[in-house]
Amino acid sequence: NFTLNSKDYMDYIVAVNQELNEKEEYITNLDLATGDGDHWANLHMGFTKLTEEKERLEAMDLSSELKEIGKIMMAVIGGSSGVLYGSAYLHASKVMKDKEAIHKEELFEILNAMLNAIMERGQAKPGFKTMIDSLYPAVEAYKATLEEGASVEELCKRVAAAAEKGAEETRNMESIKGRATYQSNKGMGHLDPGAVTMALQIKVLMNKALE
Ligand code: ADP
Ligand code: MG
Ligand code: MG
């Protein structure tokens, strides 16, 4: 079916919040190993605030909703990820201007806009051991699968798998941006927390799209 409206998008946000709540220790430990240990807490504050604002946000059209999500993320999440997610959502909002629903083409445009916003804002590229390393392969897989004309089931499966594989590959990367660059071994041997939580969001999003 694959159509997301404003309410579906907030249902997705709430689902991410739940999934994050189950992974507090795991994600906190990832950021303790290569950063300052607050990545889970930062995202938790943002997604909890968004969950509290669900009714207000889902009453908006998608473009306004995504913009408001971005503003809340920028204000509440803090850390590097707050600014990066904030810009990602502000750019995604522009994609949905005058559009009523997110179909598979729009979701591609949203993810691609988020990727470009994060790369620009963070001055980072794939291979720098950041959240980009799960989003970039997901966008690439999305594009390839769309062009192939595969089923939406196949599309969602491949995009989520590409994000997960991308996150896994950060384990053997040396950090070029973010706090892991301050580690003597540049975070080698550890997963990047931001790449892991990005993959988690992509997985939940693709599942939501299939519902
Ligand atoms: P902080 O590092 O300020 O404590 P968080 O812990 O919330 O912020 O987020 C850290 C994550 O942000 C990293 O794991 C990485 O994925 C991502 N990140 C950090 N700097 C950048 C950047 N310049 N570009 C893209 N992503 C980045
Ligand atoms: Mg941190
Ligand atoms: Mg911090």
How high is the ipTM of this complex? Answer: 0.99
Could you tell me the domains of the chain?
Answer: 6-210 (1.25.40.340)
Side-chain half-sphere exposure of 61, counting CA atoms within 13 A? 10
pTM of the model: 0.98
Q: Is 192 in the pocket of ligand 1 (CB under 6 A)?
A: yes
Closest CA to 16 of 106, 71, 85: 85
CA of 111 to the centre of ligand 1 (A): 18
Per-residue 3-state assignment (H helix, E strand, C coil) for 16-61: HHHHHHHCHHHHHHHHHHHCCCCHHHHHHHHHHHHHHCHHHHHCCC
Q: Is 204 in the pocket of ligand 1 (CB under 6 A)?
A: no
- Distance (Å, rounded) from C-alpha 64 to C-alpha 97? 8
DSSP bridge pairs for 4 = 102
Going residue by residue through the chain (211 aa), what tens digit of pLDDT does each one get? 799 999 999 999 999 999 999 999 999 999 999 999 999 999 999 999 999 999 999 999 999 999 999 999 999 998 899 999 999 999 999 999 999 999 999 999 999 999 999 999 999 999 999 999 999 999 999 999 999 999 999 999 999 999 999 999 999 999 999 999 999 899 999 999 999 999 999 999 999 999 9
